Amino acid sequence: MASKLTENYIFRKFVCGLSKERVAELCFKSVRTVTRWDSGHKIPPECRRLMKLYSCRDLAAINDDWRGWQIKQGELVTPNGWSLTPDRIVTGNALLQISAENDREMKAAIIRTARMLNRLPRA
């Protein structure tokens, strides 16, 4: 462990939740280099992005369109806190694909129902 808690150590260990060994493997660096980062040496920006992306804390590392999006426990989480499972994403895309005029009423009914279900108390 670092002799003092540097910003880099806190970022690696607590923000990203990564071990020195995992960071070294991820960034193609040695454990010794990661130890130097922990002690305060600058982490290259590309390595910080990799660490954030790998730890699923910040998808903005992909590009700015993903700012605020995260992956938590296997679900994609939107900036406003909606959890999207793969099934929900596929269903939403399917609804967009069938955007004929007469389907708009059905979409509106589905959205109203989803909002009502979301307001129900959770068990």
- Measuring CA to CA, which residue among 24, 1, 29, 3 is closest to residue 13? 1
pLDDT tens string 14-70: 988 899 999 999 999 999 999 999 999 999 999 998 898 888 766 777 788 888 888
2 has pLDDT over 50: no
Q: Could you give the dihedral angle defined by the CA atoms of residues 12, 14, 20 and 26, in that order, rounded to the nearest 10 degrees?
A: -60
Q: Is the pTM of this model over 0.85?
A: no
Q: Where are the domains of the chain?
A: 1-84, 85-122
Residue 37 · residue 8 · CB < 8 Å: yes
Q: Residue 39: what pLDDT? A: 95
Q: Euclidean distance between the first and final Cα of the chain, in Å? A: 42
